[in-house]
């Protein structure tokens, strides 16, 4: 297969590997200054001074009120479901996501019910939700995939009609706004991820955003073993705390994130321009009313128009030292642990199947060289020209 690509590989092979992302990091000097404070105080975790400062500054930056920091988004989502006391039953979610979204249901003894997605945003399709609701349905768990907001209004209307909770997997929407307001204001709870591969990172990390102080307090106990005082445990909890090293990192990242978003925006525009006119390569556009964060750059590869399928393009780019990712392939509904569920039947999820088989996330991060973006676009173009 690669024989016909010899010329492309020879011309465009990059000397250094380029990965789908590269974490933004503060300057080492700045971080060392924070570490010196930790070395003086010996306060390493359990709501230390950096944790307190970061929690407040982060909530201010995001324009929301009630926020709890977490060690990562997965534990945060497990706690979110516990905090709403929805008990056992079914939760409607998307198969087009990272495994964590669905696994947190398993940890809560809840059964996932997979709903198909919208072709345009790759998010759960509100028009398909209602027919999946049964007397056992407890909640909806949508994901704002790649930072594109779900149809939050339609989802809330359905939830209200059927008295369901809404928990957003908001791992990708750091800083995203809808009509000038944070997207994190929607739903009962939203969970952010600050994993190293995210636009905004604290090495590992996450946060829950909820609607009121009562739930915020409940979450605070749940993430700290249920401890309310030296001699008081008010219920079963877990250890979901963010430590001081993560919080200190996060404080410095907050100063850099606006610049990171602007750099990614510029590169996104360059990609869109560079790939324009290639039949069978489809890029996502900005959505009306949305302030995007440019966390990912996904394309869809339609094989009959483009001339080869997504997997072949992935391999070709890899030969050029360009490591793209198939986020999210396979679908969660195809994992052995979930494929036996009635809602996992392939014919019920046609849009998710198509997107999952065609999607490819191209490298995107603030200090990605614009010449590299140019090379990536040229590889995609040159593969297309073989077909012409
Ligand atoms: N919900 C959704 C919708 C999510 O996308 C995620 C996480 C979660 C929930 C759970 O959040 P957390 O519990 O993690 O907070 C990565 C991340 O590990 C994962 O956090 C993320 N989603 C997912 C989309 O991407 P992998 O398996 O692709 O990671 P990995 O290690 O292959 O990294 C990708 C590339 O990034 C590497 O090829 C090189 C680069 N990289 C990675 C790391 C870790 C670096 O340059 N430096 C690094 O330190 O899952």
Average pLDDT over residues 25-51: 98
pLDDT in tens, 143-174: 999 999 999 999 999 999 999 999 999 999 99
Tell whether the model's pLDDT for residue 175 goes beyond 80: yes
User: What is the distance between the alpha carbons of residues 101 and 237, in angstroms, rounded to a whole number?
Assistant: 20
pLDDT tens, position by position, 233-245? 999 999 999 999 9
pLDDT above 70: residue 1 = no
Taking the CA of residue 143 as reference, the ligand 1 atom at the shortest distance is: 3
Does residue 169 line the site of ligand 1, with CB under 6 A? yes
Average pLDDT, the chain: 97
Binding site membership of 72 for ligand 1 (Cβ less than 6 Å): yes
Q: For residue 93, how far is its CA from the centre of ligand 1 (angstroms)?
A: 20
Assign 3-state DSSP to the chain and report helix, strand, coil percentages, each to 5. Answer: 45, 20, 35
Q: What residue's CA is closest to ligand 1, atom 26?
A: 197
Q: Is 93 in the pocket of ligand 1 (CB under 6 A)?
A: no
- Burial (CB < 10 A; 0-12, 13-18, 19+), residue 357, is middle
> Per-residue pLDDT tens for 343-375?
999 999 999 999 999 999 999 999 999 999 999
Helix residue spans in the chain (DSSP H): 6-12, 28-41, 49-62, 73-83, 99-107, 126-129, 152-162, 213-222, 244-275, 303-306, 310-319, 350-358, 370-387
Query: Which of the pair, 2 or 50, is modelled with greater confidence?
Result: 50
State the pLDDT at residue 161: 98
Residue 297 backbone class (left: φ over 0; alpha: ψ -120 to 50; beta: rest): beta
Q: Is 143 in the pocket of ligand 1 (CB under 6 A)?
A: yes
With a 6 A CB cut-off, is 73 part of the ligand 1 pocket?
Answer: yes
Residue 41 has pLDDT above 80, yes or no: yes
If one counts every other C-beta atom within 10 angstroms of the C-beta of residue 43, the result is: 15
Residue 388 pLDDT class (50, 70, 90 cuts):
confident
Our mutation pick for probing the ligand 1 site, out of 104, 146, 192, 195, counting the most ligand atoms within 8 A of Cβ, is: 195
Assess whether the C-beta atom of 208 lies below 6 angstroms from ligand 1.
no
In tens, the pLDDT along 59-116 reads: 999 999 999 999 999 999 999 999 999 999 999 999 999 999 999 999 999 999 999 9
The answer to whether 74 and 100 are in contact (CB under 8 A) is: yes
Whose alpha carbon is nearest atom 29 of ligand 1?
Answer: 197
- DSSP states along 178-215: ETTEEGGGSSSEEEEE--TTSSS--SS-EEEEESSHHH
Confidence of residue 16 (pLDDT cuts 50, 70, 90): very high
Is the CB–ligand 1 distance for residue 100 below 6 Å? yes
């Amino acid at each position: 297969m690669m024989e016909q690509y010899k010329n492309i590989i020879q011309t465009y092979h990059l000397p250094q590997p380029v990965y789908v992302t590269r974490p933004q990091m503060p300057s080492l000097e700045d971080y060392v200054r924070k570490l010196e404070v930790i070395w003086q105080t010996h306060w390493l975790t359990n709501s230390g001074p950096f944790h307190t400062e970061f929690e407040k500054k982060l909530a201010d930056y995001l324009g929301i009120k009630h926020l709890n920091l977490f060690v990562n988004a997965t534990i945060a989502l497990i706690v979110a479901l516990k905090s709403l006391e929805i008990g056992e039953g079914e939760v409607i979610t998307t198969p087009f996501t990272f495994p964590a979204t669905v696994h947190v249901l398993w940890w809560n003894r809840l059964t996932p019910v997979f709903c198909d997605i919208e072709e345009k945003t790759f998010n759960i399709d509100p028009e398909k939700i209602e027919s999946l609701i049964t007397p056992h349905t407890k909640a909806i768990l949508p994901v704002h995939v790649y930072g594109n907001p779900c149809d939050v209004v339609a989802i809330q209307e359905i939830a209200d009609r059927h008295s369901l909770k809404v928990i957003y997997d908001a791992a990708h929407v750091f800083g995203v706004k809808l009509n000038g307001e944070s997207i994190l204001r929607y739903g009962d709870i939203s969970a952010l991820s600050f994993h190293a591969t995210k636009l905004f990172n604290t090495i590992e990390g996450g946060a829950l955003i909820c609607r009121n102080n009562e739930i915020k307090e409940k979450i605070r106990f749940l993430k700290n073993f249920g401890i309310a005082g030296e001699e008081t445990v008010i219920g079963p909890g877990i250890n979901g705390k963010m430590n001081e090293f993560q919080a200190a990192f996060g404080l410095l990242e907050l100063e850099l994130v606006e610049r990171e978003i602007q750099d990614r925006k510029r590169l996104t525009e360059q990609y869109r321009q560079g790939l324009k006119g290639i039949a069978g390569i489809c890029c996502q556009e900005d959505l009306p009313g949305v302030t995007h964060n440019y966390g990912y750059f996904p394309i869809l590869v339609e094989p009959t128009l483009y001339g080869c399928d997504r997997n072949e393009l992935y391999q070709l780019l890899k030969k050029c030292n360009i490591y793209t990712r198939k986020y999210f392939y396979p679908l969660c509904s195809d994992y052995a642990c979930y494929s036996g569920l009635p809602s996992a039947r392939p014919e019920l999820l046609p849009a998710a199947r198509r997107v999952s088989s065609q999607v490819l996330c191209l490298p995107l991060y603030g200090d990605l060289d614009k010449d590299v973006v140019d090379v990536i676009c040229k590889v995609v173009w040159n593969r297309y020209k073989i077909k012409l």
